[in-house]
Amino acid sequence: MRFLIRQQMLKFEGMREDFLHYLWKYKKCNVLQFKTVNGESIKIVSVGQHNSDAGPDFFNAQLRIDGQLWAGNVEIHIKSSDWYAHNHEIDPNYDNVILHVVWQHDVEVFRKDNSHMPTLVLKNYVEKTAIENYKRLFNRKGQWINCEKDFATVDDFVLKNWLERLYFERLEQKARHIEYLLNNSNNDWEAVLFKMLAKNFGLKVNGEVFYSIANSVEFSKIRKLNKNLLSFEAFLFGQGGLLDADIEDVYFQDLKKEYLFIIQKFQINNAGVLPLQFFRLRPNNFPTIRLSQLARLISSHQNLFSKIIEMSNLEQFYELFEVEVSDYWKSHFTFGKQSRPSSKKISKPFIDLLMINTIIPLKFSYAKHQNKSIDAEIVALINEIPPEKNNIVAKYNSLKVISNSALQSQALLQLKSNYCDKNDCLQCAVGNALLNRN
């Protein structure tokens, strides 16, 4: 029976090196029977520290090989010949390797001094359940994610904790981008807030366009402009190229006159601004409406960043962001074309998006910058926000209803893009739970 199991393993194709890392790291093998290809016994004192950067795969391992204690590094490959294929024989970073762990031994490996490199063939000792779980997880063709059929069976506690960790992993990624913006804004948090708000007010279609408008002049000039609503609207519409036409409309002409004054006074232009898009947008998402809302928000609240940092309750944010367009836009969606009057306030679902993509990441980043932890506050706040509705979240929920708040929906987006799409199941708590099943 044992011979047949090994034959099945030998026939299995598609072995991945990161799976061998998993087997070594978690000792998913008959470790008590380890022997080198030359028959030397191997006793693991410590598997070492897993290295995800350049260099040997495990640092500072401790092994007894034929009774002799060795301390050094462990390198893992699919085949022994990969040692030479990767030029490790001439790389000094690999001089301290004490054991070469492989799936298939196809060539002898020697150190620089021509001494023999101890080699362990892992397939001779791998547990049957480990290889079966591996095959089940990675032998899935044509499925949305590798664990599609087993996702619903993963323990709720494992999923809950993994999703919270993924959410903070996503926040850390956003924090790195915010740090980049901060460095390019002379450490002005108010400027970073404006740039992020501008991008998110533009949504997917016009996000980069609004962002290019925000970046088209120094924030010191925007500070002077945003104290007057008409001036600030003139700046935003003018930089967006919306005042280039000749429309017989009092409000339009007032904006155009003000914009001409602004570009002369501040010596600015919109040469680097991307073109705005109206195509396939609902009227309430037209860039004219979103720019007017943005202008009203920024003009209504001086030192907006400080107010945001002080707040921790979602209702406070709803009140802060519930602004409406200027009077003209209550009866217009585009210049010169009148429509049925409506207030066009920023809706709660739109504020939720601002909270998810701008406010909470900024609060997290600012606390981190101050060497403070507000993780509990962040979790409480994000859990108050309803989950996002998109195809990815809907698909996960069809496998197992798991998204009850924006924390889970954000975490599921992180899971899909950073793990599932990359087949990185071995670094995923879901994948590990499935691989560890007996």
Could you report the per-residue pLDDT of 63-108, keeping only the tens digit for each? 999 999 999 999 999 999 999 999 999 999 999 999 999 999 999 9
pLDDT of residue 135: 86
Mean pLDDT score, 47-68: 95
pLDDT of residue 4: 35
- Judge contact between 273 and 216, C-beta under 8 A: yes
- Judge contact between 80 and 119, C-beta under 8 A: yes
Spatial separation of the C-alpha atoms in residues 214 and 56, rounded to whole Å: 46
Binned at pLDDT 50, 70 and 90, residue 52 comes out as confident
pLDDT of residue 138: 85
pLDDT of residue 75: 97
Nearest residue to 169 via CA among 373, 407, 389: 407
pLDDT of residue 124: 92
Name residue, tokens 């001089």. 95
287: exposed, middle or buried (C-beta count within 10 Å: 0-12, 13-18, 19+)? buried
Binned at pLDDT 50, 70 and 90, residue 405 comes out as very high
Residue 275 has pLDDT above 80, yes or no: yes
Residue 400 has pLDDT above 70, yes or no: yes
Binned at pLDDT 50, 70 and 90, residue 7 comes out as very low
Counting residues of the chain whose pLDDT is more than 70, the rounded percentage is: 97
Q: What is the pTM of this model?
A: 0.85
What's the whole-number average pLDDT of the chain?
Answer: 93
Fill in the DSSP letter of residue 64.
E
Residue 12 has pLDDT above 70, yes or no: no
Mean pLDDT score, 171-188: 96
pLDDT of residue 14: 66
Strand pairing report for 58-65 and 42-46: antiparallel
Mean pLDDT score, 109-128: 90
pLDDT of residue 11: 42
Mean pLDDT score, 323-331: 96
pLDDT of residue 119: 97
204: exposed, middle or buried (C-beta count within 10 Å: 0-12, 13-18, 19+)? exposed
C-alpha to C-alpha distances, 361 to 162, 340, 368, 378, 382, nearest whole angstrom: 19, 37, 10, 9, 10
Q: For the ranges 13-22, 103-112, 363-372, which has the lowest average pLDDT?
A: 13-22
Residue 61 has pLDDT above 50, yes or no: yes
